[in-house]
A and B are shown apart, each in its own frame.
Chain A
């Protein structure tokens, strides 16, 4: 009964490189959410996806950030040309339906040097 899985757990990138964060939702969950968290701050919603569709991306920067949840495989959050301000913890969560409880993965800590 695996929970939400994220990898890598820690990712170091130099400025200008690309970061790819992966999330495998809980078995049977088709709703995936990505959040960003800075130290001592709350969870900032980025994007909500349901298999193959982006439902709400209102929290995601218009440039450099993209997300997908293909029919097969994990959800991917992609950050192109990373900058120091992208350093944060990125959490993925999944749920069975939209307003049901969300189960969070352990997060990916991104550090941009």
Chain B
């Protein structure tokens, strides 16, 4: 079945530094979605990418979908304390539906 790997598992940054998390799939994806879960909260949908090579921005967040539609990244510029949480990618592909990665825990030191 489809597998989605996400790295790193944990990332410590100083406030103001940039942060990137990477997502890799064992198969070609029809789409990739990103979710954020605050500590003690529930996952919240951030964005969906569908096209090969697609790049989307949301304020300080930049999402990319690889040319081969097998990998994706989320980059946060100048992190703030409100960015703390776990970021999950989820790959969509055919009959398997969505497969979630294990997430990257972002820890920010003020």
Contacts and interface: CB of A to CB of B under 8 A. Distances in A.
Interface of A: 33, 35, 40-43, 45, 48, 56, 58, 91, 93, 98-107
B64 to A, nearest CB: 18
A45 B42 contact: no
A101 B99 contact: no
A28 B88 CA distance: 25
A48 B97 contact: yes
B43 A104 contact: yes
Given A42-B88, A98-B97, A99-B98, A107 B42 contact: yes
B6 to A, nearest CB: 8
A48 B90 CA distance: 15
Contacts of A41: 102
Contacts of B35: 104
Contact of B43 (A40, A56, A58, A91): A91
A98 B103 CA distance: 21
Size band of the B side of the interface? 20 to 34
A102 B45 contact: yes
A107 B92 CA distance: 23
A89 B30 CA distance: 29
A106 B45 contact: no
Contacts of B102: 41-42
A81 B105 CA distance: 33
Contacts of B1: 58
Contacts of B101: 42
B98 A42 contact: no
